[in-house]
Amino acid sequence: MKDSNKVYSLHESHIYVIAKGKDHKKYEYGTKASLVTTMKSNIIIGVAAHQKNEHDSKTLEAALASANKHRTQPIVEAICDRGYRGRKEVDGTLICIPNKPLKRDTNYQKELKRKKFRRRAAIEPIIGHVKTDHRMQRNYLKGFVGDEINLLLAAAAFNLKKWMNLFLLFVFMLRIANFRIRIISTVVFKCN
Res. 73: pLDDT tops 70: yes
128-to-7, 65, 74, 136, 149 alpha-carbon distances in Å: 27, 23, 27, 9, 19
Mean per-residue pLDDT over the chain, rounded: 82
Single-letter amino acid, residue 110: K
Evaluate if pTM is beyond 0.85. no
Single-letter amino acid, residue 55: H
- Check residues 92 and 22 and name the one with the higher pLDDT: 92
Band the pLDDT of 159: cuts 50, 70, 90.
very high
Give the list of residues 6+ apart from residue 41 with CB closer than 8 angstroms, or none.
none
Compute the average pLDDT of residues 86-92.
82
104 conformational bin, left if phi > 0, alpha if psi -120 to 50, beta if neither: alpha
Q: Where are the beta strands (DSSP E) in the chain?
A: 16-19, 27-30, 32-37, 44-50, 77-79, 89-90, 93-96
Band the pLDDT of 188: cuts 50, 70, 90.
low
C-beta separation of 47 from 27 below 8 A? no
Q: Tens of pLDDT along 24-53?
A: 878 877 788 888 888 888 889 999 988 888
C-beta separation of 44 from 58 below 8 A? no
Sheet containing 77-79: order of strands: 77-79, 93-96, 89-90
Band the pLDDT of 160: cuts 50, 70, 90.
very high
The pLDDT score that the predictor gives to residue 174 is: 85
Sequence spans of domains, the chain: 16-191
Task: With CA atoms as reference, report the closest residue to 158 among 50, 61, 66, 37.
Answer: 37
Q: Tens of pLDDT along 98-152?
A: 777 788 888 898 888 888 888 777 888 888 888 888 888 778 788 888 888 989 9
The pLDDT score that the predictor gives to residue 124 is: 82
